[in-house]
Amino acid sequence: MLETLFNQFRDFIGQPWPWYVAGPLLAFVMFILLYFGHEFGISENFRLMCAADGADSMNEFFKIDWRAGEWNLLVALGAVFGGYLASHYFLGSQNDLAHISEATVNSLNNIGIKVHQGTVPLIPEFISWKGLLSWQGFIMIAGGGFMVGFGARYAGGCTSGHAISGLSALQLPSLIAVAGFFMGGLMVTYFIIPFLFK
């Protein structure tokens, strides 16, 4: 009885979540953090980790009490656990698939990324340790990480801090930051990625 209930619950959670479930839940995460006195912003953790690793003695930007950001580091740690749980116990019948549109599948095939509708994984094979050994993979993983870390602090926030928290609070700077995210992302998607897979 209890087992059936648990299995039903697991199958329910294991379905792909539609956008209208994910979006409001993200706002709920933001609200819960505000209720506990904190602002949702994941990229701040990179700064905290730098400070905790000794950068505080090298540069004043990192002279922060990283222990005051412990809550945020724990959210990031929780996200690691969440990723583990979701991917190991709540995959559902759909497995690890990305249900992208037919148009996207065609676009990918056109630029030389071979995928088939219905078997598209969440993470492409070039985002892997093996992929990292090619210069293209290195640019995407290491270069991408560097740009994200640099750009997020420069802009004062990432997707959670600007696109969700900032826009929710009707902050014009966040709208500008999001416009910047899209300018960078569009440039890469239309010009750099096709070049990488040529």
Partner 1 sequence: MKMSRYILIGILLGFILYKSEAVSWFRIYEMFRFQSFHMYGIIGSAVVSGIFIVQLIKRRHLKSAEGKEIVIKDKIRTYPRYLIGGFIFGIGWALAGACPAPMFILLGAGNTVFFVYLVFAMTGTFVYGILRKKIPH
Single-letter amino acid code for the residue at 177: A
The reply to whether 150 sits near partner 1 by the rule CB under 8 A is: yes
- Nearer to partner 1 by Cβ, of 1 and 100: the residue is 100
- Please state, in angstroms and rounded to a whole number, the distance separating the CA atoms of residues 184 and 196: 16
Q: Which of 1, 3, 4, 36 binds partner 1 (CB under 8 A)?
A: 36
- Nearer to partner 1 by Cβ, of 1 and 88: the residue is 88
- Nearer to partner 1 by Cβ, of 4 and 35: the residue is 35
The reply to whether 30 sits near partner 1 by the rule CB under 8 A is: yes
- Please state, in angstroms and rounded to a whole number, the distance separating the CA atoms of residues 64 and 117: 48
Per CB under 8 A, which of residues 119..148 are in contact with partner 1? 120, 122-124, 127-129, 131-132, 139-148
Write the DSSP string, 155-170.
HT--IIIIIIIIHHTT
- Please state, in angstroms and rounded to a whole number, the distance separating the CA atoms of residues 22 and 117: 23
H/E segment holding residue 7: helix 2-14
Q: Which of 61, 65, 109, 112 binds partner 1 (CB under 8 A)?
A: 61
The reply to whether 10 sits near partner 1 by the rule CB under 8 A is: no
Q: How far is the CB of 92 from partner 1 (least distance, A)?
A: 9
Q: How far is the CB of 111 from partner 1 (least distance, A)?
A: 10
Written as six digits, the tokens of 66 are 């990283």
Rounded to the nearest 10°, the torsion over CA 10, 13, 14, 15 is 140
